[in-house]
Amino acid sequence: MKRIGIGLSLLIVLQGDLPVHSQTKDIDLQIGIVQRFGEDTKDKLTIKSLSNAPIIVKIPSQSTPLEVPQLQVSITQNPLKEPILEERLVLSDHSTYETAEDNANQWKAKGIPVEITQPGRWEVWAKRSVYAAPLVRRWLLKSLQAAGYTQPSLRSEWVKTQLLLSFQIGTKSYNLTQLDLSSKSPLMQVSGENKHLKTRAYPGTLHFQPNAYNNYTLVNQVPLESYLRGVVPHEIGPNAPFNAVKAQVILARTYALRNLRRFQADNYQLCASTHCQVYYGLTETSPEADRAIKETTGLVLTYNNELVDALYSAMTGGVTATFKDIWNGSEKPYLRSFIDSPQPLWNLSQRSLGDETSFRKFINLKDGFNESGKSIFRWNKYSTLKTLTENLQKYLQRRHLSTANFNKIQRMKITKRSPSGRILTMVVQTDKGEITLQKDEVRSAFDPPRSTLFYLEPIYQRQKQLIGYRFIGGGFGHGVGFSQYGSYNLAKLGWSAPRILAFYYPNTQLKPLSPLITYWKEEENPLN
C-alpha cells in the first residue's frame, strides 16, 4: 500500500453536511505546466512577477541566487564531441495512462522492470536504468520476439547535439540543464513565444528540468489547495451550481493525490492538461470555487480507507460506464454502470445495452436524464470514407504500426459492446486486411465520436457505393464516474455535494485527509 506522510494536524468539525478539518501543513504538488520545452528549438518563455518583486534565480554552480526583474529562457544547441546513441525499448503503446499502467503491471509480473512515459501517446518502456547497455536491450527484444510478442520495438537515434536552457543576466550568458525560479511575489507570470502555453500566472515555485525525451519540463511546485484554485473553475465550468462545484473540488483533490505517480519517469507528478486535470494557474480564479475549496478543505473520497479512482467526464450520455468498459485493468466496485437519472428510465439488468437493438432504442431517448437538454447529450456526426481513412492512417502511424500502409477503408462494424453500451471492439476492413480497434482507441482513431457510446450508420450513393458513415451517439468523454453536467441537474434539484458523490460513487465515504488513508495500492504502481 502507498501512504504519504504529510504531517497533518486534524481537527474534525461539522460544517453544513460535510465533515471538515483544519490542517497545519498543505501538500506540495509538482505539476508539469510545459512538458516539451525545447521540442521546437525556437521555444522561448518569459517569467516575471506580478508585482515589483524580482525573480530569484538559483543557479546550481553559484551559492548566491541572482535577482532579476524578469527572465527570458530559450534553447541553445551544444554540439557533442561524439554522437550519443539514444535508444528506448518500447514494449507497448496506449492512448491512456490507465491502460498503459495495466500493461506495465503485466510486464512487471513477467519480471521485466518498466517505466511509463508520454512522448506523445502513453508508452511502456523497458526501464532504461536496468536495460542500459545496447546488447542487453537487444537480447531482451529478441527474447520477447521469440516468445511471440510482436509489439515491442527499439527506437534508436544518434544524438549529435545537447539541448541547453539559455538565458542572460546582465552581460553574462548561461547555458544550463536545470534552473530554479522563485519570487517574493505570490504569483509569477509565464508567457511563451511557442505553442505550449498561454500567458498565465502561477503560485509557488518554477523549475526547469530535463525529461525523458531530451528536452525539458517547466514544473510548478504548488500547494494542493492553491492548485485546486487553478483546476476547479476550468473543469466544472462557470455556470455550475454551488453543490456541484463542491463535489468537483472533492474529486479534483482526490484525483490529484491518487495520481501522483503518473510522471515518475520525468521526475514530476501531474500534467496540466486533460491527460490529468486542466490546471491554468491562478490567472482566472472563481469566487465560487474558492469558497467551495475553503468549505471542503482536506476532504477526499475513499473506499475501504483508500482514495477512490476519482474518474469524471463532461457527460455520460445517460448511462455511466465501468472502468473496464473503457480501459484495461481491474474493476473498481464503486465505478458501476447505471442510468444517469434521478428517476427509473431504463432497466439495465433486463435490457442490456450490449444488445445492438436495445442500444439504438436507448440512444434515441432524450428526456428525463440528468444531462437532458445539453447540446452534446445526443449527437449525430458525419464523416466521409476519405476522411475516416486519413484519420485511421494517422492514428496507426502515431503507433508506429505497419498496418498504416493501407489505401482505403472498405467498411466498419461494431462487433462487441459492454452492458453500458460502450464499444469494446470495432472491426475496420481495409484493402489490406482487417484492423481491430478496442475500447477508447476508437476515439483516438477517428475524429467524429465524442465518446464510445455510439452506433454507425453507413451512407451510400445511389449506386449503393459506400461513401461515409454517420456516428450517432451520446455523451462527451469516457463516461466513468461523475458526470459534470449531470451534477448540475442534481444540484439544482437540491442534492448536497455528499449525495451527488454517493450517486456517482456508491458505497464510498467522505473523509478528512490523514496519514492513515492509503493513496493507492502498491501493485497499481509498476515502477516500485
SS3 of 248-262: the string is HHHHHHHHHHHCCCC
- Length of the chain in residues, anyone? 528
Q: What is the 3-state secondary structure (H, E, C) of 191-216?
A: EECCCCCCCEEECCEEEEEECCCCCE
pLDDT value of position 14: 36
Greatest alpha-carbon span in the chain: 78
- Within the chain, all domains assigned CATH 3.30.70 are found at 78-161
pLDDT value of position 76: 97
* pTM, rounded to two decimals: 0.93
Q: pLDDT for 448-491, tens place per residue?
A: 999 999 999 999 998 789 999 999 999 999 999 999 999 999 99
Q: Which residues of the chain register pLDDT less than 70?
A: 1-25, 194-196, 522-524, 527-528
Q: pLDDT for 237-246, tens place per residue?
A: 999 999 999 9
- 126, three cell numbers: 523497458
pLDDT value of position 521: 83
**Hey, which bits of 361-453 come out as E strands?**
378-384, 409-417, 423-430, 433-438
pLDDT value of position 196: 56
CB burial readout 171-185, b (16+ within 10 A) else e? eeebeeeebbbbbeb
CATH class of this structure's domain 78-161 = alpha beta
State the Cα–Cα distance between residues 425 and 26, nearest whole angstrom: 44
Q: What is the 3-state secondary structure (H, E, C) of 73-139?
A: EEEEEEEEEEEEEEEEEEEEEECCHHHHHHHHHHHHHCCCCEEEECCCCEEEEECCCCCCCHHHHHH
In one-letter notation, the amino acid at residue 119 is: P
**DSSP bridge partners of 423:** 417
